[in-house]
Every structure is written in C-alpha cells, then in structure tokens.
Amino acid sequence: MNKKELEAKLISIRRHLHQNPELSLEEYKTTKSIKKWLQEVGIAPLETTLNTGVFAMIKGKKNAPIVAIRADIDALPIEEQTGLPYASKVKGNMHACGHDFHTAAAIGAAYLLQQHKADLNGSVKLIFQPAEEIGGGAEKVINDGQLDEVDYIIGLHNKPDLPVGTIGLKNGALMAAVDRFKVELQGKGSHAAIPDGGNDPIIAASQLVTALQTIVSRNVSPLHSAVVSVTKIVGGNTWNVIPENVTLEGTIRTFSTENRIKVKRRFDHIVHQTSAAFEQYATIQWFPGPPPLMNTEEVVQSLAQTAEKQSLTIVDPIPTMGGEDFSHYLERKKGAFAFFGTSGKEDWHHPAFTVDESALILAASFLYESAKDLLIKINP
C-alpha cells in the first residue's frame, strides 16, 4: 500500500467511524470494525476482559522494549451540525472531539508498522481505548493488564486551533487535573414573607459562590493556573417559599498535584465555614477525574526530533484546562502526548466540530516514525 492508497484508506476509515459514533462503553461496532481493519493486514487482536476496546502487538526483530500507541475510540452525546455528507447517522451522537481522527491515525500507524516490522528495534503495542469522554477508560485498560509490559507510551490529540502541519509538544504539564464537586446546603424552609422563620440556603449559596472565587485569586500562586467553576445551582420550587436546601455543582481544574490538594482543602474549609456562618449544614461529594497530564522530557525530545525529520512545525502549546485520561498512563510509564494541528473551525465538543482530513496521513506517519525512533533510542 503506497502513501496515496494509505491516505485514501484512512479517510475512508475515519468517515465510517464518523458516521457511526458510539458513546463511552458502548463502542461495540467500533471495536468490531477496528479488529477487522487490523486483521486485514495480519494484525491479530490480543485477549482482553473488556467488552469494548482493542489491543494488539506488532513484534519487530526484537521483542523488547515495547512502545505503546494509544488512541481513544468513543463519541459524545451531541447532535451534529456540520452538514457534512458523511455526518453522523446516529441521532444525538457525534464524534465532536475527533476520536475518529485519532483511531484512524493509529490504524494508519499500525499498517506502516506491520509493513516494516522487520526493521523495528522492539515491539509496538496498539491500545484503542474506550470511555475517555466519561473518564475511567484508561484505568480499565490498566486494570486489564494492558500496560504491564509497556516501557513507553505515546499519543496525540487533534488541535483545531493549530494549522495542519503543526505539532504542539511540551515538557511537563499539558492538560489539567479534573475534579467534579457537588455541595448540598441544608437550611430551614419558610414562607418567603417570613424569612426570619427559617435559615435561607439560597442566601448561603450566593455567598458561597462568591467566596469560592477567592481560592484561585488568593491561594494559588499568580504564576500558576487553576479554575474553580460553579456551573449548576438547584434550589426552590416556587416564588413564595424559601426552600429547605440548595445544591451546587461544578468543577476544579489544576496543573499540579500540590495545587490539586491545596485547592480542594481550601474548598472544603470555605464550604463548611460559610455554611456554618448561615447556620446551614453542608455536605460535599467529590468525583475525582484524571490527574494532570505530565509529559516526560526525554520522550518529548524524541518526538520533537521525529517531527523535525517529518518537516512538521513544532510549537510550544498553551496548556489547556481540559482533562485527558492519558494522564493515568503517564503516572505509571514514561511517555508523551502531543497536540496535532487539524485547522478546525470550531473547538472540541462543538456540534459543528470538524477536522481537515489532510492531517490524517501526517498523524499516522508521525505515530509510526515516533514509535520506531523511540525504540531505537531505548534499544540502540
């Protein structure tokens, strides 16, 4: 398969995935299709206890070391508004984060690796991961033992605001840790005309929202970044009754474990002290997401050298407060995650999100060459 034929094949694969999006942990047809595309070139899937997701090993002239390439395969519950001829055929579901692009690029890398496996200084493991969007997918892969024998792991994410032919590579923190919170303030209801007969949780909630904003402004270094966002408030049923309780939900984003711990500690203190000041009882529920995504310097350097050979323009990307469960892999193995330019008109999770498909063959080639070069550096 020459370059032109491979590019046409990958575009076809990506469009098939785009038309048939499946939500997290429901990627059954996607899993079946990936297995078929791998088996077409003689790549046999590995055994797994997971219901969705695909894993495979391409062995070179040496069995070890092992570099893993990871792609996520799930879609989002978004109604597509692109008007593309190959738009989603599944109402309410869409590949609005480009995981179809990632999957097709990794399959392209797999084809190239299989074609040149006799030249590899080790083996390459393919990880087509389910359930990135809801979190927990990477942990399922790890618990399944798929990372045990891996020495290094690499991956990429499309970046709409970077032009095709551009790659963002950064040492250290690239994406934020994600924590979701739910706070319930329990007060005492009363008639709206007799507020002194109760303890109004709406007033307490209003004060709390304001007080929480001081965490970032007064407890996080101005040289660091963090976000505390209250995104949902629920309380009351009618206009003339002060309710018994109010619920607040939102998210915290941080770029270091130290700030993650500090911000949550301050959050807890402010919630309980503010609620106590208004004679409320507060409960906090935490829903921890992925940790900060921390790239390994030596792997970033290797990817940069590969990118230069491919004449890609390397930029220092602005870290994003978005989360990515690839970070779980990087807590356990050396590796790196790159942003790959796709010249999109809208950002991730937008109903009109698109990618420039000319970036697809570049991404596939980059993943292939990066894995090959990394094996040489590990095992000259």
**Per-residue pLDDT for 1 more than 90?**
no
* Span 20-78, pLDDT tens digits: 999 999 999 999 999 999 999 999 999 999 999 999 999 999 888 999 999 999 999 99
Q: Percent of the chain at pLDDT above 70?
A: 100
Distance CA 118, CA 124 (A): 12
**Per-residue pLDDT for 379 more than 80?**
no
- 């297995």: which residue's tokens? 35
Contacts for 206 with CB less than 8 Å, ≥ 6 apart:
none
Q: What is the mean pLDDT of residues 300-320?
A: 97
Distance CA 117, CA 61 (A): 7
Q: What is the phi-psi region of residue 90: left when phi exceeds 0, alpha when psi lies from -120 to 50, beta otherwise? A: beta
Q: Please tell me the pTM assigned to this model.
A: 0.93
Distance CA 303, CA 333 (A): 16
pLDDT at 378: 87
Q: What is the mean pLDDT of residues 259-275?
A: 97
Q: Which residues are annotated as a binding site?
A: 97, 99, 133, 157, 349
* Span 208-257, pLDDT tens digits: 999 999 999 999 999 999 999 999 999 999 999 999 999 999 999 999 99
Distance CA 336, CA 367 (A): 11
pLDDT at 82: 97
Distances (CA, A) of 311 to 38, 331, 372: 28, 31, 17
Nearest to 365 by CA among 7, 117, 17, 38: 7
Q: Which residues are annotated as a binding site for Mn(2+)?
A: 97, 99, 133, 157, 349
pLDDT category, 287, cuts 50, 70, 90?
A: very high
**Per-residue pLDDT for 88 more than 80?**
yes
DSSP β-ladder status, 177-186 and 172-175: unpaired
Q: Which domains does the chain have, with CATH numbers?
A: 3-174+292-378 (3.40.630.10), 177-288 (3.30.70.360)
Q: What is the mean pLDDT of residues 125-137?
A: 96
* Span 313-370, pLDDT tens digits: 999 999 999 999 999 999 999 999 999 999 999 999 999 999 999 999 999 999 999 9
